[in-house]
Structure 1
Amino acid sequence: MHNVGFFVYPGHQILDLAGPFAAFETVAKIAGRPLYGLEVLSRAGGLVPSSGGVPVTTKAACDASVNTLIVAGGNVAPMLEPGEVQAVACLADRTPRIASVCTGAFLLAEVGLLDGRRATTHWRMAHQLQRSYPAVEVDADRIFVADRGVWSSAGVTAGIDLALALIEVDHGVELARKVARELVVYHRRAGGQSQYSAISQMEPESDRIRISLAFARDRLHEPLPIERLAEAAHLSVRQFGRAFRRETGETPAKAVERLRVEAARARLQDGSEPIEMIAQAVGFTDPERMRRAFLKVYGMPPQAVRRLDRSVGKSPVVTKDV
C-alpha cells in the first residue's frame, strides 16, 4: 500500500486538498482494490480550519509514515509559521516523494526542499516565490514540475493534474486516464498557465520593469531583443534580466512572446483579419512562429482559438473536450 499524506494548516485552500485527494481516492474504484492509503496531516492534529472556515479532521504529522507527502496551498503567512515549517521538515526527512499544490511551494521552499530545483506555483504568486527564494528556479508557465523527487503544481485545480501525473508514474498511463475520465477532467491539460494569466496587465514593483513592459507593449511590431528592453529600463542587460525575472517570474523573451500572443488573440477575436497579417502586426514576422507560440500557451493553433472564441464568446479560458 502506497500511503499519501496531505499536509494542511490553518488557512489552507480546501480545493488544494480535496482535488488531489479525490483523484487518489478514485483509483480504488477504477482498479477494483485500494492502491493508496490516504490521510490528512497537520502539525498537531485535530480540526484545522480552511481559508473558508471549513474544519478538516487531521492526524498529527509526527505520528505519520507516508510514501508521498503533498502540501496544500492557501494563505502563505500561516503556512510559514515556525511550527508548520518544522513539521514539514520532519516529515520530509523520512518521505521519499514530496509535492506541493499552488502556494504550498512556499512552504517547501522555506524548508529548503526547492533549493537548486525547478518549481512552479500559481501564476500570480510566481514572481513572489522567485523573489523570496532566489535559489529556486521558478517556471511560472508550467501546470506541474517534477525535479529529482520533488513535485510542485500550479494554482488550485492543478493539484488534480499533479495527482494524475503521480498516479501515472505509479500505475501507468491507462489507469491515470481512466481516473481523469471518472473525474471529468483532462488527463493531460493542453497549454500552460499562460492561458489563464495576462502578462499585459502585470504591474511589477519597480518603475524600471514597468517601463520596459510598457515599452514592449507599444512596440510589439518591432524587434524587441533584451538589449533594447534593458536600455528602455536604463539598466545593464545582466541587471535587467535578473530584475525582470525576479519581478515577473518570466524571462524577457518569454514575456515578449506572451505579450504578442495576447495581442494576436485580441485581434483574432475582434475581426476577420487574416492570420498572416496578424502575425506581422504583432511582431511574429511569420505565421509559423505565431502558431508555435499559440500551441505553447493555449495548446491549439490560432485558427482553432479563433473558432472557439467565436463559438463561446470572448471567454478568457480555452477548453476542449475531455
Structure 2
Amino acid sequence: MNRRKMKEDERPQKKQVVIVAMTSQLLLDITGPADVFTTADKCLQALGTAHGYDVMIVAPTADKKVISETGLAFSCKLCAMDIHTPIDTLVIAGNDYWEGNETVFEPFYTWLSGINEKNTRRITSVCAGAFSLAKVGLLDGRKATTHWNLSEQLKKHYPRIDVDANAFFIHDGPIYTSAGVSSGIDLALALVEEDFGKDIAIKVARHLVYYLSRPGFQAQFGSLLPLYENSNIGQKLQHWLSDHLQEPVDVGKIAAHFNMSVRNLTRVLQKQTGMPPAKFIEKLRVEKARKLLENTDLSLERIAEQSGLGNLISMRRVFLRHLMTTPSDYRRAFRTSLNTPEIKELLPIKSWDSFN
C-alpha cells in the first residue's frame, strides 16, 4: 500500500489553470486562453509526456452561471469560491464592473483578496479583468495594462497602478495583465512558452492559426482622440479642423475662429482635453491619415498632403511616434479586407464600389 501511494505521489502533476469567467463579457476573453492551454496539453500528450495543463472554467458567483454579451448562457461545475487548493495559473477573464452590481460579486472579491504568491504561482487578467485585480489591491505599485478603451478609467480609479495602454500584455512579478480580448491569447501563448518552451508554444500557435508573438501595439487599434461631449472645445475643434487639415493651421487662426485669444484657447484646450493645440492638431491629422490608409487607394504621398502631415518622411515620423508603426505597415494591417484582389476573386460582387 505504501509503495502504491508513493508511486501515485511521484506521478507528474499537471499545472492547474483556473479561468474565472466574469459575466456579460466577450466569449473570447474566456475561450481564447482556455483553447491555448487545452491545445498545449494535447500537444504535450502527443509527445508522450504526462505534464501539461488541467484547465477549469469557474463562475464568479455562487449560482455558477455565466451569461455572455452574445446571450449565450452556460453553467460551470464550480464557482471560484469552491476552490481552496493551490492554483498554478489564475486567469480573471473580463469583468462587468460597470454594471453596478458589485454586491453580487462580493464573495468573489473576498476570495480573490486571499490569492497570493503562496497559493497561486501566477495571477493573470484578460481585458477588464485588471479591474478585479485592482479592486483587491493586487496591482498596487505594479505596472499593468487593460483594453485601450478602458485604460483611462483604470488610471483614474486606481492611481497607484502604473498603467501602460500600449502593450498587449505586461509581466510584473507574479502578476500578468493583458489588453483587450485577443490579447488573452497572446498572454496564454507566452505562458505556455514560459512553461514548456518555444517549440510547444509554436505548435499551439500554428494549430490555432495565430501569431506566437503578434506584431504591433494597442495604440494601433484605438483612437488617438477620445469622444468629447458637445460642450467640450475638443469636439468643436475636431468638427472645424476636419475641413481645414490640408491647410496651414496655426493656433492664431484657430483662436480667431473661436473669438478667443491664443492664451485663452491654449488654457481651455489644455484643461478640457489635456493637450496643447499643436499636439491636438497633430493627433487629428494622424486620425485622418489612418482613415485614408484604411479606406482608399491614394498614394502615401497624397495621403500625407491631404491630412496635412506634409510629406512621406514627416508622416512616417509622426506615425512612429503616435502609433509605433509606419504608414505602409499600418495600411497592410488595417486595409479593408473587402477591397483586396484575392477577396474580390473569391466573392465576385457586381459593384465593389458600394463598399468603399
TM-score by length of 1: 0.75
Query: How far apart, CA to CA, are the structure 2 residues paired with 1:176 and 1:254?
Result: 41
In 1, Cα distance between the equivalents of 2:192 and 2:316? 32
Alpha-carbon spacing, 1:253–1:163, altered in 2? closer, same or farther (3 Å): farther
1:234 pairs with 257, 267, 271, which one? Answer: 267
Amino acid at match of 2:338: V
1:77-226 alignment, distance < 5 Å: 77=99, 78=101, 81-92=105-116, 94-199=119-224, 202-203=227-228, 207=232, 210=235
2:39 corresponds to 1:22: no
> 1:36 aligned to 53, 60, 66, which one?
53
- 49, 56, 67: which is aligned to 1:50? 67
1:309 aligned partner:
335
1:68 is aligned, of 89, 104, 107, to 89
* Number of aligned residues: 304
Superposed CA offset, 1:263-293 (max 9, x none): 1133345655442343354354442453366
Distance across 2 between alignment mates of 1:207 and 1:2: 51
Q: 1:23 to 1:120 in 2, by over 3 A?
A: same
Q: 3-state DSSP class of the match of 1:197?
A: coil
Instruction: Give the aligned residue type for 1:3.
Output: Q
* Local SS of the residue matching 1:186: coil
Root mean square deviation, CA, Å? 3.9
- The DSSP-based 3-state class of the residue aligned with 1:15 is helix
Structure number with larger C-alpha Rg: 2
Q: What amino acid is aligned across from residue 40 of structure 1 in structure 2?
A: I
- Deviations along 1:117-159, one digit per CA (max 9) or x if unpaired, are 2222222222222222222232233222222331111222221
C-alpha contact (below 8 Å) 1:45/1:57 kept by paired residues: no
Assess if the C-alpha contact under 8 Å between 1:5 and 1:40 holds in 2. yes
Q: Is the partner of 2:87 in helix, strand or coil?
A: coil
- The answer for the alignment partner of 1:320 in structure 2 is none
Aligned partners of 2:144 and 2:161 also within 8 Å: yes
Q: Which range moved further: 126-135 or 51-60?
A: 51-60
More off after superposition, 39-48 vs 136-145: 39-48
Deviations 1:20-63 (A, max 9, x none): 01101111222233422222344566622233322222254441
Q: Give the match's secondary structure for 1:91.
A: coil
Kindly provide the amino acid, as one letter, of the partner of residue 88 in structure 1: L
1:318 maps to none
> How big is the shift at 1:167?
1.2
2:304 to 262, 276, 279: 279
Structure 1, unpaired ranges of 5+: 246-250, 315-322
Match in the other structure for 2:344? none
How far does the alpha carbon of each residue in 1:196-249 deviate from its partner, in whole angstroms, 9 at most, with x for none? 333456336982554566677677566899xx9996462596x67xx749xxxx
Once residues 26 and 244 of structure 1 are traced to their aligned partners in structure 2, the CA distance between those partners, rounded to angstroms, is: 45
Instruction: Report the AA paired with residue 27 of structure 1.
Output: A
3-state SS of 1:96 partner? strand
